[in-house]
Amino acid sequence: MKYIMLTVAAVALSACGDAMTYPAAIEKQTEAAATAATPVDQIQLTSSNNLNNGQFEILGPVKGTVGKVTAFHPTPTVAQAEQKLRIEAAELGADGVINAKISDVTICALSWGCRTLSGTAVKFPR
């Protein structure tokens, strides 16, 4: 019975977060997303819900987490979190992200310091 409870707890806790990305991996992910229709560095981010004069198609939500490996590594920057948000949007074929949100640094389950990010990927009409 004890092992069943431990297994249930482990499964429940594993569902609490999404995959953690560390700053060193962001550059590799940017290169991997190079085949996207819109280059990663050209994907527009906005904290509002208006981009391209409201002319866009919603592709879906994007989210992620950027964290540091140990307490001695530098804290993830806002620029690194923005880049991760662009990478996630590029994987959906997006041209921009509306309602982009990046958290302050917090302690996460898998990191001594992390930023969570979210938004909605959009595609502009051609």
Q: Which helix (H) or strand (E) holds 123?
A: strand 111-123
pLDDT at position 26 is 80
Interatomic CA distance for residues 14 and 74, integer angstroms:
25
Q: Which of 124, 9, 125, 122 is nearest to 61 (CA)?
A: 122
Residues of the chain falling short of pLDDT 50: 5-6, 8-17
- Please give the Cα distance from 77 to 97 (Å, whole number): 19
* pLDDT number for residue 90: 94
The model's pLDDT over 89-107, given as tens digits with 9 standing for 90+, comes to 999 999 999 999 999 999 9
Q: What is the reported pTM? A: 0.77
**10-19: long-range contacts at Cβ-Cβ below 8 A with a sequence spacing of 24 or more?**
13/109, 16/109, 17/65, 17/108, 17/109, 17/110, 18/63, 18/64, 18/65, 19/64, 19/65
Contact criterion met (CB below 8 Å) for 73 and 100: no
CA 94/CA 57 separation, integer angstroms: 9
